[in-house]
C-alpha cells in the first residue's frame, strides 16, 4: 500500500511513537560507527527533521549512497529526541533512495555559502535554509495582500502585460516584437508589419488600466509583474519585479496615505504571526553576519524588533518642501557628505536623501507628499499652487522608497494641459481620457514594490535575494 507522506512542518502536531513516512532532501549527514544522523528537509519548515539510522538495521553500501542533496523517503517511528536542539526525531525502519546526488558535484555543500555564490546557483538555492525561509515569507506576504484587499471588498483586476502605453513616461521599456530582427531592411522598422501593427512594450505599471477598473468597480487592485529597462545595477532595482497597485474611486490623498500605512502594517503583522520561525532564523543569520562589521554598519535593532516597531509607529507625513528644507539644512548636506547636494528646490530625492530622512532625522517611516510637478508623472493631480502635484512616496528604513502613488488628475482640461506640456499624445490615450469625459470622480492609488517590501521584512540587503529568479542588467538566467 502506498504510504501517505507527512510534511516535516506538520510533525509538531503528531503524537510521539507514531509510524510515519517523510520525503525530502538531505541537508547533512553524519555517519558514525553505530548510527548515522541525517538532517532532512522538505521545504515545509525551517526546522529540518533529524533521521536516525541504526547501522545494524541497514546495509552500509545503501547508507553510503545517501549524500547531501539526495532525495530520500524515510519511514519509521517518531520518538523523543535525545539531542538538545529538537524535540523529536525519526527512528528509521525503512528508507528508499529516490534520487542520488553526487557528493563531489552537488554545488551546495553543507557549509555556509556567500549570497553571491548562491545567486550563481539560483536553480538550487531554494534548498538552503536562508532561501526556503525567504520564499515561504514571500508567499505569506503575497497571500496577506490578497487577503487584505479581499476582506475590504476590493476586486482584483488583471491588467495587461503587453501594452502600448508608457504609464510612468520615463521611456524605460522593453520592446515586444515578433519581427525578424535579423532581416530588417535599411535599418527601418515598419511596426505596421509587427504582430500588433504598432509599437508595444512590456508594462511598467498596471495603473492606467486599474484606473478604468476603479471608475466602474470603485475599489480595485492589480498585482502583477512589471518591467523596467532602467540600467541601474543597484541593490534595490530589478528589471522584472512585482507590484501591487490599488486604485480607489472617491479616495483623496489622505485616504490614500491611510490605506498605504494600513496595508504595510497588516502585511508585516501577518508575517510576524505566520512566519515566526523563518523570521527568527533570518534574524540570527543577520546577527551572525554582522558580527564582523563595525558597529556603525550594523542594524541598531534585531530584525523582529524592527518589524514590530513599524506596527507601533504612526508614519511621519510631510510635504516635499518640508523634506527638502530638512535635507538642505542637514549636517551631511552642509559637510558635503551627500553624493548629490540638496541645494535646489525641484530636485528629485536620491536614495541617500530618503534614507537620511527615515533613518537619521525621523527614525520612522515617512510619507512625503506634494512633489514638484516637473519630476512626476502626467497623471498626478496638480495642486492649487500649480507647481506641485498630489504625489505620495512612502519611505522605509534601509530600502528607501517602498511605495509611489498619488491622487489622480480627474479634471479633463488640466489633464490634457499636462499631457501637452509633457508631449504625450492625446490620441494614444483617448481611452484613458474617456474616464474623465464620462463620470469623472476624485480617485487615488499607489504602487507597492513587492521586492522592496520583502527586503525590509527579511533584512536582505540585495534585492536579487528576495525574488526566486532575478533579472538585472546583463543577467537573465534560469
With left for phi above 0 and alpha for psi between -120 and 50, is residue 49 left, alpha or beta? Answer: beta
When the beta carbons of 107 and 169 are compared against ligand 4AD, the nearer one is: 169
When the beta carbons of 69 and 447 are compared against ligand 4AD, the nearer one is: 447
When the beta carbons of 26 and 137 are compared against ligand 4AD, the nearer one is: 137
Q: Give the phi and the psi of residue 98 in degrees, each rounded to 5.
A: -85, -45
When the beta carbons of 224 and 302 are compared against Mg ion, the nearer one is: 224
Distance of CA 289 to the CA centre of its chain: 22
Which partner from the list Mg ion, ligand 4AD, none does 278 bind, CB cut-off 5 to 8 Å by kind? none
User: x/- binding map, residues 453-472, to Mg ion, per CB under 5 A?
Assistant: --------------------
Which partner from the list Mg ion, ligand 4AD, none does 207 bind, CB cut-off 5 to 8 Å by kind? ligand 4AD
Beta bridge partners of 31: 36
The H-or-E segment that residue 214 falls in is helix 207-217
User: Residue 436 and residue 215: Cα distance in Å, rounded?
Assistant: 9
Which partner from the list ligand 4AD, Mg ion, none does 447 bind, CB cut-off 5 to 8 Å by kind? ligand 4AD
Among 22, 19, 29, 170, residue whose Cα is nearest residue 96? 22
User: Residue 23 and residue 44: Cα distance in Å, rounded?
Assistant: 11
Site for Mg ion in 400-439 (CB under 5 A): 404
Residue 420: CB minimum distance to ligand 4AD, A? 20
Which partner from the list ligand 4AD, Mg ion, none does 245 bind, CB cut-off 5 to 8 Å by kind? ligand 4AD
The H-or-E segment that residue 211 falls in is helix 207-217
By the rule CB under 5 A, 449 interacts with Mg ion: no
Q: Which residues bind ligand 4AD (CB under 6 A)?
A: 167-168, 205, 207, 228, 237-238, 241, 243, 245, 401-405, 445-447, 449, 451-452
When the beta carbons of 250 and 276 are compared against ligand 4AD, the nearer one is: 250
Instruction: Choose the stretch contacting Mg ion; rule: CB under 5 A; options: 274-282, 367-375, 397-405, 418-426.
Output: 397-405
Among 268, 262, 257, 205, residue whose Cα is nearest residue 394? 257
Number of neighbouring beta carbons within 10 Å of residue 41:
22
Residue 445: CB minimum distance to Mg ion, A? 13
Instruction: Choose the stretch contacting Mg ion; rule: CB under 5 A; options: 13-21, 125-133, 194-202, 396-404.
Output: 396-404
CB-based contacts of 9: which residues, under 8 Å, 6+ apart?
A: 42, 44, 45, 47
**Cβ distance 140 to 393 under 8 Å?**
no
Residue 233: CB minimum distance to ligand 4AD, A? 11
Residue 204: CB minimum distance to ligand 4AD, A? 6
Continuous H helices in 115-204 = 115-120, 129-151
With left for phi above 0 and alpha for psi between -120 and 50, is residue 127 left, alpha or beta? Answer: alpha
Residue 392: CB minimum distance to ligand 4AD, A? 9
Which partner from the list ligand 4AD, Mg ion, none does 51 bind, CB cut-off 5 to 8 Å by kind? none
When the beta carbons of 100 and 359 are compared against ligand 4AD, the nearer one is: 359
Which partner from the list Mg ion, ligand 4AD, none does 405 bind, CB cut-off 5 to 8 Å by kind? ligand 4AD
Residue 228: CB minimum distance to ligand 4AD, A? 5
When the beta carbons of 53 and 141 are compared against ligand 4AD, the nearer one is: 141
CB-based contacts of 46: which residues, under 8 Å, 6+ apart?
A: 129, 132, 133, 277, 278, 281
User: Which grid cell sits at 10?
Assistant: 506538520
Q: Dihedral through CA 243, CA 303, CA 277, CA 453, nearest 10?
A: 0
Q: Is 136 exposed, middle or buried (0-12, 13-18, 19+ CB in 10 A)?
A: buried
Residue 299: CB minimum distance to ligand 4AD, A? 20
When the beta carbons of 71 and 164 are compared against ligand 4AD, the nearer one is: 164
Number of neighbouring beta carbons within 10 Å of residue 271:
24
When the beta carbons of 271 and 394 are compared against ligand 4AD, the nearer one is: 394
Using CB under 5 A as the criterion, which residues of the chain lie in contact with Mg ion when the complex forms?
Answer: 404
Amino acid at each position: 500500500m502506498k504510504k501517505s507522506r507527512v510534511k516535516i512542518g506538520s510533525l509538531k502536531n503528531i503524537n510521539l511513537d507514531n509510524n510515519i513516512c517523510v520525503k525530502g532532501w538531505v541537508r547533512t549527514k553524519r555517519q558514525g560507527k553505530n548510527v548515522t544522523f541525517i538532517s532532512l528537509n522538505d521545504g515545509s519548515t525551517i526546522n529540518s527533521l533529524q533521521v536516525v539510522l541504526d547501522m545494524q538495521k541497514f546495509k552500509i553500501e545503501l547508507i553510503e549512497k545517501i549524500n547531501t542533496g539526495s532525495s530520500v523517503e524515510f519511514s519509521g517511528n517518531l520518538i523523543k529526541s535525545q539531542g538538545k536542539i529538537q524535540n523529536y526525531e525519526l527512528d528509521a525502519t525503512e528508507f528508499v533512495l529516490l534520487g542520488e546526488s553526487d557528493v563531489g558535484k552537488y554545488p551546495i555543500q553543507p557549509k555556509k555559502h556567500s549570497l553571491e555564490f548562491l545567486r550563481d546557483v539560483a536553480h538550487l538555492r531554494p534548498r538552503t535554509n536562508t532561501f526556503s525561509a525567504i520564499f515561504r515569507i514571500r508567499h505569506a506576504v503575497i497571500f496577506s495582500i490578497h487577503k487584505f484587499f479581499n476582506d475590504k471588498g476590493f476586486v482584483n483586476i488583471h491588467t495587461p502585460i503587453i501594452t502600448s502605453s508608457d504609464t510612468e513616461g520615463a521611456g524605460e521599456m522593453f520592446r515586444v516584437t515578433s519581427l525578424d530582427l535579423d532581416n530588417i531592411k535599411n535599418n527601418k522598422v515598419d511596426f505596421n508589419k509587427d504582430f500588433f501593427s504598432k509599437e508595444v512594450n512590456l508594462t511598467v505599471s498596471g495603473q492606467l488600466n486599474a484606473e478604468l477598473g476603479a471608475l466602474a468597480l470603485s475599489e480595485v487592485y492589480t498585482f502583477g509583474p512589471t518591467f523596467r529597462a532602467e540600467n541601474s545595477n543597484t541593490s534595490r532595482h530589478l528589471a522584472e519585479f512585482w507590484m501591487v497597485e490599488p486604485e480607489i474611486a472617491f479616495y483623496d490623498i489622505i485616504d490614500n496615505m491611510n490605506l498605504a500605512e494600513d496595508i504595510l502594517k497588516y502585511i508585516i503583522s501577518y508575517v510576524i504571526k505566520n512566519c515566526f520561525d523563518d523570521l527568527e532564523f533570518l534574524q540570527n543569520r543577520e546577527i551572525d553576519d554582522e558580527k564582523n562589521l563595525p558597529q556603525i554598519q550594523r542594524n541598531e535593532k534585531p530584525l523582529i524588533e524592527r518589524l514590530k516597531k513599524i506596527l507601533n509607529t504612526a508614519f511621519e507625513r510631510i510635504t516635499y518642501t518640508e523634506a527638502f528644507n530638512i535635507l538642505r539644512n542637514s549636517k551631511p548636506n552642509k559637510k558635503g557628505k551627500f553624493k548629490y547636494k540638496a541645494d535646489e528646490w525641484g530636485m528629485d530625492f536620491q536614495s541617500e536623501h530618503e534614507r537620511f530622512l527615515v533613518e537619521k532625522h525621523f527614525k520612522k517611516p515617512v510619507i512625503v507628499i506634494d512633489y514638484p510637478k516637473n519630476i512626476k508623472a502626467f497623471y498626478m493631480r496638480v495642486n492649487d499652487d500649480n507647481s506641485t502635484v498630489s504625489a505620495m512616496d512612502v519611505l522605509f528604513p534601509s530600502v528607501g522608497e517602498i511605495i509611489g502613488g498619488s491622487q489622480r488628475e480627474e479634471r479633463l482640461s488640466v489633464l490634457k494641459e499636462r499631457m501637452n506640456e509633457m508631449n504625450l499624445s492625446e490620441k494614444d490615450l483617448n481611452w484613458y481620457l474617456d474616464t474623465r469625459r464620462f463620470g469623472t470622480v476624485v480617485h487615488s492609488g499607489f504602487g507597492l514594490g513587492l521586492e522592496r517590501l520583502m527586503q525590509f521584512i527579511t533584512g536582505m540587503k540585495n534585492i536579487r535575494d528576495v525574488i526566486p529568479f532575478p533579472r538585472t542588467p546583463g543577467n537573465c538566467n534560469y
